[in-house]
Amino acid sequence: MGEAEKVKVIFQPSGRRDLVEKGITIIEASRRLGVDIETLCGEKKVCGKCKVRVEEGFFEKFGIRSSLAHTSEWQEEEEKFISPEEREKGYRLACCAKVEGDLLIFVPEESRAGKQVVSKAARQIDIQWNPAVRYYYVELTEPSFHDPTGDFERLREELERKYGLTELDVDYLTLKELPVLLRKSGFKVTVAVWMGKEIIRVLPGQVKDCYGLAVDVGTTTVAAYLCNISTTEVIDTVSMMNPQCKYGEDVMSRITFHMMHQDGLERMSDDIIEGLNTLIKQACEGTHPPKKKGKEKATQEHSAEDDKDYLCLEPEDIVDMTLVGNTAMHHILLKLNPEYVGLAPFPPVIHKSLDIKARDLGVNINKSSYVHILPNEAGFVGADNVGVLIAEEPYKNEEMCLIIDIGTNGELVLGNKDKLISSSCATGPALEGAQITFGMRAAPGAIERIKIDPETHEVDYKVIGREAWKSYSKPEEMQTRGICGSGILDLLAELYRAGVILKSGRFNPKQKSKRFRKNPENGQPEFVIAWANETSIKKDVVVTQKDVRQIQLAKGALYCGCKLMMRRMGIEKVDKVKIAGAFGTHVDREKALIMGLFPDCPVENIIAVGNAAGDGARAALLNIEKRNEANWVARNVEYIELTVEKDFQQQFMEAMQIPHMTDKFPHLRGLVPDEILNQK
């Protein structure tokens, strides 16, 4: 059999490349090269998520000429998702366009698929460049009898002369390498300087790009952004479940684990540190050429020579790292006793930011580097919230902004340039799937999106691990297992909007859907989301009256928190609502408004800011002013304990109704049928 004709394909920004058979789709090619491209509909050409850009021109570095003409014909389905301007620029849907010749393909950030279910992709944020670690190149004169000055002073004097860096110190481990390195490099070196005061790395020759990692340690998810500090570009996002989950789902159960086990803190800390090291390794491996397995051996063209074009980063190339997390995660990671954070009056061990040598933490990056840990506001509002604040900067604006960070705990900040108050509310784990009959973690088989037809009460949904929605799939393809956090948010809003449940949360007894029934065993009303034949557990996935109550409790806590804070602030409405946090990237702003997660606000002023805590970590990585800002804001946000407000119970009860017992929601007009909205 004759071999198929092969052409060269290169994906940017990862730089991955290889020869592929002519005629396969770009999506197929991306899979073979280990490049992840989003494809929600499962290549049905209906979601438009797999947009890529074909670069035109001759690329000398790679020795190829790439052209749109090297792709198959334009398809009708692409029209819907790609504007004429975009088409002009070379955009195609990767599921439509076939590879017909050499191609250099750029995958935009929004088309890159997270490699993990728990991925928190990086948002485009505007950060001024003023990093803690900078590279400086110097050429030194060699020692002589007339100038026998020592190596370090020789280096220091030149750095002062050329760059005005005065009084530089050096980390001991970097100093150890200096003499041999200077001589091996002919006294021409690049020096990494931390905060303008300490030399933390010396590299032979001239090196321009330096790399850092911004990490958000969530109770459930850990996300790390590998950044080019010199260009501020995000190179990759890697994430994982917090390995501490095995000790307990939420903050309090982790604290309890520490109190019940003498080595509990040590174990939980070691686990997260090991987790960080795994992420570091992963992030670095992503910059290497893909490893070939069995049959797919490296072709002759893919030689070691080619590998030079990959970044090929190693952990020691990461010279700076920033870290955010809630106060408990912060304490546990640092092996700071978290006991008192869980005990009234909840004082943290430390508020201010810390710069700890990576080696003291056991974090495997450049051995002389520091890990910068952002400051905590209070026992229940930690460095993660500070991260959100420095990313969103509510203290720089006139407008009154409400920021809701929904994780395992709800963290709220309200204010503007004049005043900021923060609080936390016990949303409980319901919004993350716990305490719900078919609730589960965000994992393959979990329902993450739901739509309920107001007429037929038919349900459409999507599960994690499968791109295509149920309506595009055969029932047996769904392999549904339960409902995760973002699915639960959709659920309450959709049940209410479709009239399946009433304002009070009770199931509407008058509904006609065959999905509504009394449980044959306990007689309780329930609504079927997925029929048994669509599941891998072989039973109907339902939502019960009790489940609805649990979700109402969570949303009520959050709404009540928002309202009490607004009262404290003396305001009737907010100008802007920002939703951040664990499902910040998944949340549907309309549905959040419909279910009454927060007081009324024009939909266009509700903004999902994704993982803003992680953005804050990135901001602090790239700009030291943000670190100062973080310390300032951590001590200037006033923390308010809401549960001690005297009408808290009454407020909470009213907030449990959907969207609220008495508050008006003018901005829901049009989103929810009037008869639904007007019900008593």
Measured from the CB atom, the residue of 266 and 476 that comes closer to a second copy is: 266
Measured from the CB atom, the residue of 145 and 670 that comes closer to a second copy is: 145
Measured from the CB atom, the residue of 356 and 443 that comes closer to a second copy is: 356
Helices (H), 570-610: 589-595
Measured from the CB atom, the residue of 32 and 351 that comes closer to a second copy is: 351
Residue 345: asked if its preceding bond is cis (omega within 30°), the reply is: yes
Measured from the CB atom, the residue of 96 and 215 that comes closer to a second copy is: 215
648 contributes a contact to a second copy by CB under 8 A = no
Which range in 72-80, 170-178, 391-399, 484-492 contacts a second copy by CB under 8 A?
Answer: 170-178
Which range in 30-38, 96-104, 175-183, 518-526 contacts a second copy by CB under 8 A?
Answer: 175-183
Measured from the CB atom, the residue of 493 and 640 that comes closer to a second copy is: 640
184 contributes a contact to a second copy by CB under 8 A = no
Q: How far is the CB of 84 from a second copy (least distance, A)?
A: 57
How would you classify the pairing of strands 169-170 and 133-139?
unpaired
Q: How far is the CB of 364 from a second copy (least distance, A)?
A: 17
Measured from the CB atom, the residue of 208 and 352 that comes closer to a second copy is: 352
Measured from the CB atom, the residue of 357 and 517 that comes closer to a second copy is: 357
Identify whether the C-beta of residue 530 lies closer than 8 Å to the C-beta of residue 466. Answer: no
Q: How far is the CB of 332 from a second copy (least distance, A)?
A: 12
Q: Work out which of 5, 360, 476, 674 binds a second copy, going by CB under 8 A.
A: 360
Q: Work out which of 3, 60, 126, 153 binds a second copy, going by CB under 8 A.
A: 153
Which range in 40-48, 340-348, 433-441, 468-476 contacts a second copy by CB under 8 A?
Answer: 340-348
Q: Would you put residue 140 in left (φ > 0), alpha (ψ -120 to 50) or beta?
A: beta
Measured from the CB atom, the residue of 320 and 467 that comes closer to a second copy is: 320
The first and second tokens of residue 376, run together, are: 């905590």
262 contributes a contact to a second copy by CB under 8 A = no
339 contributes a contact to a second copy by CB under 8 A = yes
445 contributes a contact to a second copy by CB under 8 A = no
Dihedral sign from CA coordinates of 228, 233, 239, 242: positive
For residue 74, give every residue at least 6 positions away whose Cβ sits within 8 Å of its Cβ, in sequence order, or none. Answer: 87, 92
Find, among 608, 581, 582, the residue nearest to 405 by Cα.
581
> Can you tell me whether residue 167 is helix, strand or coil?
coil
Helices (H), 41-83: 76-79
Distance CA 316, CA 114 (A): 24
334 contributes a contact to a second copy by CB under 8 A = yes
143 contributes a contact to a second copy by CB under 8 A = yes
Which range in 71-79, 297-305, 349-357, 451-459 contacts a second copy by CB under 8 A?
Answer: 349-357
596 contributes a contact to a second copy by CB under 8 A = no
CA within 13 Å, CB half, 267: 15
Site of tokens 């309309």 = 590
For the window 374-413, what string marks contact with a second copy as x by the rule CB under 8 A? --x-xx----------------------------------
From residue 156, alpha-carbon distances to 140, 189, 193 in Å are: 10, 12, 11
Which range in 18-26, 346-354, 423-431, 649-657 contacts a second copy by CB under 8 A?
Answer: 346-354
Site of tokens 């008192």 = 340
Measured from the CB atom, the residue of 203 and 593 that comes closer to a second copy is: 203
DSSP symbols for 460-499: EEEETT--S-GGGS-HHHH-B-EE-HHHHHHHHHHHHHTT
Q: What b/e string do you get for 128-165 counting C-beta neighbours within 10 Å, with b at 16 or more? A: eeebbbbbbebebeeeeeeeeeebbebbbebbeeebeb
What number of other Cβ atoms are within 10 A of residue 631's Cβ?
16
Find, among 638, 676, 637, the residue nearest to 657 by Cα.
676
69 contributes a contact to a second copy by CB under 8 A = no
Measured from the CB atom, the residue of 76 and 153 that comes closer to a second copy is: 153
465 contributes a contact to a second copy by CB under 8 A = no
Distance CA 679, CA 508 (A): 12
Which range in 27-35, 354-362, 400-408, 624-632 contacts a second copy by CB under 8 A?
Answer: 354-362
The first and second tokens of residue 30, run together, are: 């991306």
Measured from the CB atom, the residue of 349 and 434 that comes closer to a second copy is: 349
Find, among 137, 136, 135, 141, the residue nearest to 187 by Cα.
141
173 contributes a contact to a second copy by CB under 8 A = yes
641 contributes a contact to a second copy by CB under 8 A = yes
57 contributes a contact to a second copy by CB under 8 A = no
Distance CA 460, CA 449 (A): 8
Q: How far is the CB of 274 from a second copy (least distance, A)?
A: 18
Q: How far is the CB of 314 from a second copy (least distance, A)?
A: 22
Helices (H), 351-484: 358-361, 383-392, 475-478
335 contributes a contact to a second copy by CB under 8 A = yes
Measured from the CB atom, the residue of 80 and 176 that comes closer to a second copy is: 176
**Total residues at the site for a second copy (CB under 8 A)?**
47
348 contributes a contact to a second copy by CB under 8 A = yes
144 contributes a contact to a second copy by CB under 8 A = yes
For residue 196, give every residue at least 6 positions away whose Cβ sits within 8 Å of its Cβ, in sequence order, or none. Answer: 165
Site of tokens 């070939």 = 292
Q: How far is the CB of 413 from a second copy (least distance, A)?
A: 18
Measured from the CB atom, the residue of 175 and 245 that comes closer to a second copy is: 175
354 contributes a contact to a second copy by CB under 8 A = yes
358 contributes a contact to a second copy by CB under 8 A = no
For the window 100-139, what string marks contact with a second copy as x by the rule CB under 8 A? ----------------------------------------
From residue 246, alpha-carbon distances to 241, 242, 243, 272, 444 in Å are: 10, 9, 7, 11, 18
Measured from the CB atom, the residue of 178 and 495 that comes closer to a second copy is: 178
337 contributes a contact to a second copy by CB under 8 A = yes
Identify whether the C-beta of residue 280 lies closer than 8 Å to the C-beta of residue 318. Answer: yes
362 contributes a contact to a second copy by CB under 8 A = no
Q: Tell me whether residue 167 is exposed, middle or buried, using C-beta atoms within 10 angstroms of its C-beta: 0 to 12, 13 to 18, 19 or more.
A: exposed
Q: Work out which of 148, 164, 294, 570 binds a second copy, going by CB under 8 A.
A: 148
Identify whether the C-beta of residue 439 lies closer than 8 Å to the C-beta of residue 430. Answer: yes
| Strand order, beta sheet including 401-406 | 606-610, 576-581, 401-406, 410-415, 420-425, 638-639
Q: Work out which of 346, 472, 648, 665 binds a second copy, going by CB under 8 A.
A: 346
175 contributes a contact to a second copy by CB under 8 A = yes
> Which residues in this chain contact a second copy in the complex, by CB under 8 A?
143-145, 147-154, 170, 172-173, 175-176, 178-180, 183, 334-337, 339-340, 344-352, 354, 356-357, 359-361, 376, 378-379, 639, 641, 644
